[in-house]
Structure 1
């Protein structure tokens, strides 16, 4: 009997977690529709999942942002580095603003009401006060109170400060060794927290099933419309970001090249990102496309693309803003301009520490929703359809990395616009692919 149970358990575990959560999403929805209001008795099992997510907010932010700050060392931040970082921050800011704008236009989640979620209904501070509150008077108190934006600000300042001290210290200095130890501890801590996240997501199969059953048991088929609107909002925002910001403004306007050529030269990377849902996993393909097809100098793409896989999360940041509006609508809360600005800043900073792995944004959503007092139950609600939406976000992220790398290459005479796809030909990567297809 025990051996049979182990075989069933191993077979269950062999199915990727994203598929199990998606199945739980579907099954929970069916149970909720079939059973009706009695399905709400499963709510406590879903609430436990939400509490587990709340538990890891602060550690995840601290460890991942310290790792990001380590990459932004003064050694890397030369002319090319500064241009790359500034462009990444600019495109991410535009992406978040675009996501918020499209969300305010479509209003995903409107018509559906979430009950039982914890919503902070206190009077929102003014825009000026929001900006002032970014700087904590007591970082420890900010962590205890869950002031996400203040925590992000302090950790980034502290991390960049450590990189500056490290660069100024002697190679054999005890101070340098101590800072390296802190960074290594942060890296180890991040790995531990991702392992904890894995455990939480294992339980998330039960949590998502329970929350979906309770939601559909209370609301019924009206919830389906809310999910369709959420997906449509992200699809429209991603289409505008890629078409207008990357292809028309950056490539056609700044570089002066054909957007079609760019798409032809990056299609392997974009398709890979769409398939595996990981910016980091797509990195080898992105670098190959940058060198073989876009003809960008290695001195540019070897820095810009790995950095982009870490801090340039346009699609993810855009989605964080969309989910915030979605959560506000189903919670019956109207967000002020100051609160939406707070979402923009929080999503921008949180995206810097978002790992380039599938569905990592689910963790960062906790930071954005907590900042404006919205219910975290929304995270579990959308976890089931996140694998589908994550593909769009990852493709957006990778397209942004390659577009920015092309612009920086143009500014530094480090891209050959007379060869590769720019000359109407194919890169070596396309030749290899064509030969493989012929074989």
Structure 2
């Protein structure tokens, strides 16, 4: 029986996503200029407004996928991650401190540089949508949902976090008990959660494939109706995010210097392949094997340290994504002339931590969980569309920082004193 011939993929599938977005961006700017560049003809207004329909559909799909993605990601991580007791506690501490540092750096840079002040947009017509404030007792009462599925329907972030943690901790405990008793009843549920998680990721791939079309529509509409004024703030936002990511990279190097036997120079040189792959693919999942290999062969860490930091930690450690989502919330608030108070920024911190856990290791996935961060403080999610035009580049930068965070955790877990690998011990013995 002859094997079926592999049909060549269509041309548009062979073009990298970032290049598709770049082409869409250029064509959109040209169309926007042709339609008036801020002074459109009244006869074209209806057509110009309809250009945003693909972007609106993509944002609706992202909002629909956000809650099941985070819920399943947390449950999947609790059910499948194998973490030793003492190392697990140290790993959890490193991950939490790194993510908190990333978010605080992002908020600090956004508050100091205030990139959103470089441009202005019309505030949303529904003013009540952006008037949420922090009520600690109300937040505590709202934490427990009235029904299990209600947080998924309402996109309620706090209730979703409560449900994910409650079920995740209980399921992990039941798995440990059954494993100790030699039972395997938990396997069916674990496989079901894994299958559902992979199904959501696959649907997410479909939605992300439409991002270039969304970029084309929203950029063409914005240029046609408002000219290039709204994009001035985006330039400042790019600079602010790059500054924050650079500071986060410096934070990682300082932790490696003080907490590991690996020197920062050896750390960067040995991990250069992983960092470049992360930037070029914008996918921490695709980079994972290269990162793991670099930790073992080029930097010389123990297998246990590399496994915990790269293979396990990567499920939870998305510091660049958390930083970006926190800065995006402040940026949109500044563009709209809305002042987010410190309590509201605290809500951004909490939701960004869990949103970063749910961010899948595929390009543009941060756009999905960002909808929950915006909803948590009452920011209108339709303004995420403004970020789509620059997200293709910033996604690559924050993915490199995500991978650098995994490398940092591995290096610190390896300790301040280098432990020789078995092959190195044999070499020393033979030399003696």
Shorter-chain TM band: 0.7 to 0.9
Asked if 1:342 is matched to 2:347, the reply is yes
Inter-partner Cα distance in structure 1 for 2:198 and 2:61: 17
Q: 1:116 to 1:204 in 2, by over 3 A?
A: farther
Q: 1:112 pairs with 98, 109, 120, which one?
A: 120
- Residues 21, 392 of structure 2: 8 Å contact kept: no
Report which stretch shifted further, 396-405 or 208-217.
208-217
The secondary structure found in structure 2 opposite 1:169 is helix
Shift of 1:314: 0.8
Asked if 1:267 is matched to 2:272, the reply is yes
Within 5 Å, which residues of 2 pair with 1:378-393? 378-393=383-398
How well do the aligned residues superpose, as a CA RMSD in angstroms?
2.8
Give the corresponding residue for 2:131: 122
Q: 1:148 pairs with 123, 136, 157, which one?
A: 157
Give the corresponding residue for 1:216: 223
What is the aligned residue count?
Answer: 406
Inter-partner Cα distance in structure 2 for 1:14 and 1:83: 43
Q: 1:304 pairs with 309, 320, 323, which one?
A: 309
- Residues 230, 326 of structure 1: 8 Å contact kept: yes
Give the corresponding residue for 1:352: 357
Q: 2:284 pairs with 256, 271, 279, which one?
A: 279
Within 5 Å, which residues of 2 pair with 1:169-184? 169=178, 176-177=184-185, 179-184=186-191
- Residue-by-residue CA offset, 1:256-288 (whole Å, 9 max, x unaligned): 653223212222222222222221222222222
Q: 1:259 to 1:197 in 2, by over 3 A?
A: same
Shift of 1:8: 12
Inter-partner Cα distance in structure 1 for 2:95 and 2:198: 25
Q: 1:165 pairs with 168, 174, 185, which one?
A: 174
Give the corresponding residue for 1:204: 211
Within 5 Å, which residues of 2 pair with 1:8-23? 10-23=10-23
Give the corresponding residue for 1:246: 252
Inter-partner Cα distance in structure 2 for 1:137 and 1:240: 42
Inter-partner Cα distance in structure 2 for 1:283 and 1:234: 24
Report which stretch shifted further, 42-51 or 95-104.
42-51
- Residues 70, 357 of structure 2: 8 Å contact kept: no
- Residues 21, 208 of structure 1: 8 Å contact kept: yes
- Residues 201, 360 of structure 2: 8 Å contact kept: no
Inter-partner Cα distance in structure 2 for 1:276 and 1:167: 36
Inter-partner Cα distance in structure 2 for 1:351 and 1:394: 12
Shift of 1:86: 1.4
Inter-partner Cα distance in structure 1 for 2:381 and 2:130: 15
Shift of 1:116: 5.5
TM-score, normalised relative to structure 1: 0.84
The secondary structure found in structure 1 opposite 2:220 is helix
- Residues 68, 152 of structure 2: 8 Å contact kept: no
Give the corresponding residue for 1:433: none
Tell me, which stretches of 5 or more residues in structure 1 are unaligned?
A: 1-6, 421-439
Asked if 1:377 is matched to 2:377, the reply is no
Shift of 1:253: 2.3
- Residues 279, 397 of structure 1: 8 Å contact kept: yes
Q: 1:181 to 1:117 in 2, by over 3 A?
A: farther
Inter-partner Cα distance in structure 2 for 1:277 and 1:181: 33
Inter-partner Cα distance in structure 2 for 1:154 and 1:106: 37
- Residues 40, 215 of structure 1: 8 Å contact kept: no
Tell me, which stretches of 5 or more residues in structure 2 are unaligned?
A: 1-6, 425-432
Shift of 1:408: 1.2
- Residues 117, 376 of structure 1: 8 Å contact kept: no
